[in-house]
Amino acid sequence: MAAKKTITVPIQGMTCAACSSRIEKVLNKTDGVHASVNLAMEKATVEFDEAQLNIADVVNKIEKAGFKVPTTKLELEIDGMTCAACSSRIEKVVGKMDGVESI
């Protein structure tokens, strides 16, 4: 059985109930997805089957429906790295984390 994952996605550009309904319809018509959109909180809670799609797929569906999913750039200072293998290991681990687009 495939693993189910639940995420909360911020959404910009919703101005009315029709907007949130549109996003719910787009997401819920996708196999393996159950979504609930909260207009007031400007977010969607999405449960999906990781065997069928990933977070990027969910974001793409929302953006294709005409809405924006904001991203955040995060810079970290990491002490204790002494060689290229250290940075390589960190890149490998962080790169596998949900929501990380690039390192």
How many structural domains does the chain have?
1
C-alpha separations of 63 from 39, 45, 77 in Å: 16, 15, 32
Mean pLDDT of 12-29: 97
Q: Is residue 23 part of a domain?
A: yes
Mean pLDDT of 36-40: 98
CA distance 101 to 58: 14
Give the residue numbers spanning the domain of 16.
Answer: 4-64
Neighbours of 31 (CB within 10 A): 8
- Model pTM score: 0.76
Q: Is residue 18 part of a domain?
A: yes
Tell me the CATH number at 19: 3.30.70.100
| 2 pLDDT higher than 90 | no
Which candidate, 64, 65, 73, 78, places its Cα nearest to that of 99? 73
Q: What is the pLDDT of residue 81?
A: 87
Q: Is residue 59 part of a domain?
A: yes
Q: Is residue 100 part of a domain?
A: no
